[in-house]
Amino acid sequence: MSGSPRLILASASPRRRELLVSLGVAFEVIPAEVVEHEDPASDPRLMVAHNAALKADWVAARHPEALVLGADTTVFIDGTVLNKPADLAEARAMLRRLSGRIHTVFTGLALRRSIDGVRVDEGVASEVTFKALQEDDITRYLALVHVLDKAGAYAIQEYGDLIVAGRSGSLSNIIGLPLETTKQILTRCGLTATFPPQPPA
């Protein structure tokens, strides 16, 4: 397998790239050219698992000797998936819906290696509690953070203190890549890098 990247991240997300860098593993980024499933009425666990596998499978088919990591994250409240907002009006509506309430963030992970049939799928969930937001609070947040590429129209790591009251579960999952679970599946699949100590998830 020499000459092939040991690990490929099948995602264009800069947040996932930064999180994976923090694990201390060598990897390349090759975004999957796929159309993700984003039906708001979907079961969020199934949707993120499907999209993560879609990305990993697409890249793994083209780089069969590499371990390929796919991931997908979404926000879920009131039986509805909140994907990336189409515009600022939809972003504002999402933040109004999340205001003062608890929602769940789901991430699906898929690890593939075509040459020997490696297939690992995992799911992680965390809960986030929002502060009660006034319209001025929402306006301020939208002025500070580019939200159109973020599920649920927010990023907990960007001015999260303005909107988030608390959370339970993995912080890195809420950002987009649950590091502890990622580290476990990479190790299980033979990636033997010495992972640096991680801050609490």
Query: CA–CA distance from 180 to each of 16, 17, 125, 196, 201 (Å)?
Result: 13, 15, 13, 12, 7
CA distance 76 to 67: 30
CA distance 21 to 17: 6
Tokens of 92: 């504002």
Instruction: Determine whether 72 is an active site residue.
Output: yes
Active-site residue among 43, 57, 72, 136? 72
DSSP-derived 3-state class of residue 7: strand
Which residues, at least 6 apart from 73, have a Cβ–Cβ distance to it below 8 Å? 48, 105, 106, 107, 108, 151, 173, 176, 177
Helices (H) and strands (E) in the chain, counts: 6, 7
Known catalytic residues are 72
